[in-house]
Chain A
Amino acid sequence: MARPAGAVALPSGRIPRAAWRGVDVPAAGASLVLAGLLGVALLAEVLAPYGPREVAGPPLAAPGPRLPFGTDELGRDLWSLWLYGTRTSLLLGASVGLLSTAAAAGAGIFSAGTDVFARLVSALTELVAAIPVFLLLVLAVALTGPSLGALVLALSACGWAVFARVLRVQARGELRRDFVVASRALGATHAWVLRKHVLPQLAPLLWTKFLLTVRWAVLVEATLGIIGLSDPVRPSWGSVLGSGFSYPLLFAGDAWLRWTGPPALSVALLTWSCTVVGELARRRGWVVAGADPHRSLEG
Chain B
Amino acid sequence: MRAGWGAAAARWLLLGVGVVLANFALPRLLPGSPLTAPELAPLPAVAHQRIRAEYLLGRPWTEQFVHYLGSVARGDLGRSLVSFRPVTQVVGERLPWTLLLVSTSWTAAAVLGAVLGTLSAAKGQGRWTSAWLSAAVLIGSLPEFLLAGLLILTFSVWLALLPASGAPVPPHSWDQVARHVFLPVVTLTVSATPAFALVSRDLVGAVLREPFLLTVRAKGASSWGVLRHAWRCALPSFLTLAGLRLAGLVTGAAAVERVFGYPGLGSLLFDAVLQRDYPVIQGVFLLGSVLVLTASTLLEVVARWLDPRVR
**A interface list, Cβ under 8 A from B:** 26, 123, 126-127, 129-136, 138-140, 142-145, 215, 219-220, 222-223, 226-229, 241, 245, 251, 256, 260, 264-265, 267-268, 271-272, 275-276, 279, 294-295
Interface 1/0s, chain B 37-53, versus A by CB < 8 A?
A: 00000000000000000
Are B293 and A131 in touch, CB under 8 angstroms?
A: yes
Known: A131-B15, A135-B250, A138-B269. A227 touches B138 (CB 8 A): no
Are A143 and B27 in touch, CB under 8 angstroms?
A: yes
B258 at interface by CB-CB < 8 Å: yes
B123 at interface by CB-CB < 8 Å: no
Are A271 and B143 in touch, CB under 8 angstroms?
A: yes
B213 at interface by CB-CB < 8 Å: no
Nearest CB in chain B to that of A261: its residue: B149
Q: How far is the CA of A294 from the CA of B198 in the complex (A)?
A: 10
Q: How far is the CA of A271 from the CA of B26 in the complex (A)?
A: 30
Interface 1/0s, chain B 215-259, versus A by CB < 8 A?
A: 000000000000000000000000001001011101100110011
Nearest CB in chain A to that of B266: its residue: A227
Are B145 and A264 in touch, CB under 8 angstroms?
A: yes
Q: How far is the CB of B205 from chain A (nearest CB, A)?
A: 14
Instruction: Pick the 8 closest A-B CB pairs, nearest first.
Output: A134-B251, A131-B289, A271-B141, A272-B141, A132-B250, A143-B30, A132-B247, A143-B32
Q: How far is the CB of A281 from chain B (nearest CB, A)?
A: 14
B120 at interface by CB-CB < 8 Å: no
Q: How far is the CA of A26 from the CA of B14 in the complex (A)?
A: 44
Interface stretch, picked from B55-63, B167-175, B273-281, is B273-281
Contact of B146 (CB < 8 Å), options: A135, A139, A228, A267: A267
The residues in B between 127 and 150 inclusive whose CB is less than 8 angstroms from any CB of A are: 134, 137-138, 140-146, 149
Known: A131-B247, A135-B250, A227-B266. A140 touches B19 (CB 8 A): no
- B254 / chain A contacts, CB cutoff of 8 Å: 134, 138, 223, 226-227
Are B247 and A268 in touch, CB under 8 angstroms?
A: no
**B interface list, Cβ under 8 A from A:** 11, 14-15, 18-19, 22-23, 26-27, 30-32, 134, 137-138, 140-146, 149, 152-153, 156-157, 164, 195, 198, 241, 244, 246-248, 250-251, 254-255, 258-259, 266, 269-270, 272-274, 276, 278, 281-282, 284-285, 288-289, 292-293, 296
Q: How far is the CB of B275 from chain A (nearest CB, A)?
A: 10
12 more contacts with CB within 8 A, not counting A131-B247, A135-B269, are A123-B14, A132-B246, A135-B250, A139-B27, A139-B282, A140-B30, A144-B30, A228-B270, A241-B145, A251-B149, A275-B140, A295-B244
Are A142 and B289 in touch, CB under 8 angstroms?
A: no
Contact of B259 (CB < 8 Å), options: A215, A245, A275: A245
Are A142 and B278 in touch, CB under 8 angstroms?
A: yes
Q: How far is the CB of B11 from chain A (nearest CB, A)?
A: 7
A-B contact pairs, 8 of them (CB 8 A): A130-B15, A130-B244, A132-B289, A144-B30, A245-B259, A275-B137, A276-B137, A295-B241
Contact of B138 (CB < 8 Å), options: A129, A265, A272: A272
Are A138 and B285 in touch, CB under 8 angstroms?
A: yes
Nearest CB in chain A to that of B254: its residue: A227
Are B32 and A144 in touch, CB under 8 angstroms?
A: yes
Are A229 and B143 in touch, CB under 8 angstroms?
A: no
Are A132 and B258 in touch, CB under 8 angstroms?
A: no
Q: How far is the CA of A132 from the CA of B265 in the complex (A)?
A: 13
- B15 / chain A contacts, CB cutoff of 8 Å: 126-127, 130-131
Contact of A220 (CB < 8 Å), options: B14, B251, B274, B288: B251
Q: How far is the CA of A129 from the CA of B289 in the complex (A)?
A: 11
Are B292 and A251 in touch, CB under 8 angstroms?
A: no
Are B149 and A127 in touch, CB under 8 angstroms?
A: no
Q: How far is the CA of A135 from the CA of B30 in the complex (A)?
A: 16
Known: A256-B149, A271-B143. A26 touches B134 (CB 8 A): yes
Nearest CB in chain A to that of B282: its residue: A139
Q: How far is the CB of B92 from chain A (nearest CB, A)?
A: 17
- B244 / chain A contacts, CB cutoff of 8 Å: 129-130, 295
Are A226 and B145 in touch, CB under 8 angstroms?
A: yes
- B241 / chain A contacts, CB cutoff of 8 Å: 295
Are A279 and B137 in touch, CB under 8 angstroms?
A: yes
- B195 / chain A contacts, CB cutoff of 8 Å: 294
Q: How far is the CA of A131 from the CA of B247 in the complex (A)?
A: 6
Nearest CB in chain B to that of A126: its residue: B15
Known: A219-B143, A228-B270. A135 touches B138 (CB 8 A): no
Nearest CB in chain A to that of B22: its residue: A136
Known: A127-B15, A227-B273. A275 touches B141 (CB 8 A): yes
- B27 / chain A contacts, CB cutoff of 8 Å: 139, 143
Are A264 and B146 in touch, CB under 8 angstroms?
A: yes
- B269 / chain A contacts, CB cutoff of 8 Å: 135, 138, 227
Are A127 and B18 in touch, CB under 8 angstroms?
A: yes
Most buried by A among B15, B244, B296: B15
Q: How far is the CB of B1 from chain A (nearest CB, A)?
A: 12
Q: How far is the CB of A97 from chain B (nearest CB, A)?
A: 17
Q: How far is the CB of B160 from chain A (nearest CB, A)?
A: 12
- A251 / chain B contacts, CB cutoff of 8 Å: 149, 152-153, 156-157, 164
